[in-house]
Amino acid sequence: MTNVIRLKNISKQFGQIQAVEDVSFGIQENEVIALVGDNGAGKSTLIKIISGVLQQTSGSIYIRDEEVEIGNYNDAEARGIETVYQDLAITPNRTVAQNIFLGSEILERGPLGRFLRFVDDDEMQKKAGELLSRLELDLDPGSAVKNFSGGEQQSVAIARALQSDPDIVILDEPTSALSLDATQRVLDLIKRLNEQDVTIIFISHNLEAVFDVADRAAVLASGRLISVEDLSGVEENELVGMMMGRAQQGAD
């Protein structure tokens, strides 16, 4: 299987703090890989580097064996990478449709042709509706996002990520704030997406969920990569041990 993303010696420093140190591993095409580790392990930082919000201090990123620079969101989107953040990053007073197309608003043919094009709300509403029903979500695309529950808002964030038809979807703690019911729905969604040939990277503390949907897990501790495990061949407690035991070793 090819590596759709390969990280080589990625390090990230914030002033004195070494958030990520010399991380190298590959993400295989069409797999579901989890990033696990204790707080402060560098998981969020790592995915922000991939999604373009942050830039690595040193190291390289390869996408399908081509070295790339991901300087901002647009670079990532152009490469087919979309991200759903832990705090969702949605605009509460805007509608579901507007959120789904945030930053990528569909323009209609305006009165002045190429010079002045208005936003096409009807088209966005329609497409949003289609996207939501494909995800089996029953939300009114014309309603403000703040009117929905936390779980529903997260669905909107996921829908936004899927709007550009990405190859790679990154999710940061997609289930931590959800009820059991909602958690199950998200996990089902991940599985469904994966069946449709989308590569999934997700961060989670919920090891049960990790074992449920992920193929592999990359274990991070104190900014370093401990190992990448094939989940069919490892037990949960072993994984925990790696997250913690090695962390103790890494500290000295």
Binding site for other proteins (CB under 8 A): 53, 72-74, 77, 83, 85, 87-94, 98-99, 102-105, 107, 116-119, 146, 160
**Is the Cβ of residue 103 or residue 233 nearer to other proteins in the bound state?**
103
Alpha-carbon distance of 152 to 86, in angstroms, equals 14
**Is the Cβ of residue 201 or residue 225 nearer to other proteins in the bound state?**
201
Structure-token pair, residue 183: 């958690």
**Is the Cβ of residue 178 or residue 231 nearer to other proteins in the bound state?**
178
**CB neighbourhood size of 166 (10 A):** 19
**Is the Cβ of residue 102 or residue 135 nearer to other proteins in the bound state?**
102
- Minimum distance from residue 229 beta carbon to other proteins (Å): 30
- Minimum distance from residue 103 beta carbon to other proteins (Å): 3
- Minimum distance from residue 195 beta carbon to other proteins (Å): 27
Helix (H, G, I), strand (E, B) or coil at 244: helix
H helical segments located in the chain: 43-51, 73-78, 96-100, 121-134, 150-162, 180-195, 207-213, 236-251
- Minimum distance from residue 113 beta carbon to other proteins (Å): 14
**Is the Cβ of residue 11 or residue 51 nearer to other proteins in the bound state?**
51
End-to-end CA distance of the chain: 36
Q: Which residues face 17 on adjacent strands?
A: 14
Report which of 76, 79, 82 is spatially closest to residue 101, judged by C-alpha positions. 82
Helix (H, G, I), strand (E, B) or coil at 49: helix
- Minimum distance from residue 75 beta carbon to other proteins (Å): 9
Q: What is the DSSP string of 198-242?
A: -EEEEE-S-HHHHHHH-SEEEEEETTEEEEEEEGGG--HHHHHHH
- Minimum distance from residue 150 beta carbon to other proteins (Å): 11
**Is the Cβ of residue 24 or residue 74 nearer to other proteins in the bound state?**
74
